[in-house]
Amino acid sequence: MRLLVVEDDPELVSYMRSDLVKAGFAVDVADNGIDAEHLGDTEPYDAVVLDLGLPQKPGMDVLHAWRGRGNRVPVIVLTARDAWYERVDGFKAGADDYLGKPFHIEELIARIRALIYRRHGRTSHRIETRTLKLDEDVQQVEVNDQTHQLTGTEFRLLRYMMLNSGRILSKTHLSEHVYDQESERDSNLIEVYIRRLREKIGTQMILTKRGQGYIFNDPSA
């Protein structure tokens, strides 16, 4: 899962980034409205955390511009005023959720997860198949009562594939959603991680479509 965090307070951003990365997200940061708008339009984010009080371009205008161009990326609005008119304006501009400052990071993470699940048409807050259970808090996977610890990248990759099960996912697509902008994005690395995942959860879960990519599929489901 890759996030864009738009916030101009550098200290707050550094905390948020480290906490969100720990929670298993690839995080890009923009500290002004112009950059945020550009990034949101060019990178395939799974969710955006958008502060409204931004230099250069107000958050509300950025959101408006995205929705005007048909960019439906899920957006959580952060507001310092925490006023209803701001929420209503945000709703009209196309925001998906709101969080008043100050907030606990756990609250933000829970909202981001809920929003992403909702976007993937899930009502349950658990990611699991008949034989596979992903624990997001400790980043472990349980296969047939056997628990495996996952590395950050493995966790991000598996979660993304499970949320998009049944879809063909190219290596480029996967690397775009698993790594942030600054990471070295070598799509061959994806092959390495897929192999490691197969070692942990079994080979039949992730199928290779030659020349196209991978599909996550639980054959027992």
Contacting positions for another protein (CB under 8 A): 9, 11-12, 15, 53, 80-85, 87-88, 91-92, 96-98, 101-105, 114, 118, 123
CB of 107 to another protein, least distance (A): 11
CB of 206 to another protein, least distance (A): 31
Whether the bond into 102 is cis, omega within 30 of 0: yes
Which phi-psi region, left, alpha or beta, contains residue 149 (left: φ > 0; alpha: ψ -120 to 50)? beta
Q: Considering beta carbons, is residue 88 or 168 the nearer one to another protein?
A: 88
CA Rg value for the chain: 18
CB of 138 to another protein, least distance (A): 18
**Residues 128, 181: contact at Cβ < 8 Å?**
no
3-state secondary structure 23-69: CCCEEEEECCHHHHHHHHHHCCCCEEEEECCCCCCCHHHHHHHHHHC
Q: Considering beta carbons, is residue 94 or 202 the nearer one to another protein?
A: 94
CB of 87 to another protein, least distance (A): 6
Q: Considering beta carbons, is residue 53 or 152 the nearer one to another protein?
A: 53
Residues 6+ apart with CB under 8 A from 69: 41
Q: How far is CA 78 from the centre of its chain?
A: 17
Q: Considering beta carbons, is residue 87 or 196 the nearer one to another protein?
A: 87
CB of 41 to another protein, least distance (A): 23
Instruction: Kindly tell me the number of DSSP H helices and DSSP E strands found in the chain.
Output: 8, 11
Q: Considering beta carbons, is residue 100 or 202 the nearer one to another protein?
A: 100
CB of 76 to another protein, least distance (A): 11
Q: What residue type is 5 in one-letter code?
A: V
Q: Considering beta carbons, is residue 6 or 178 the nearer one to another protein?
A: 6
How far is Cα 181 from Cα 2, in angstroms, rounded to an integer? 9
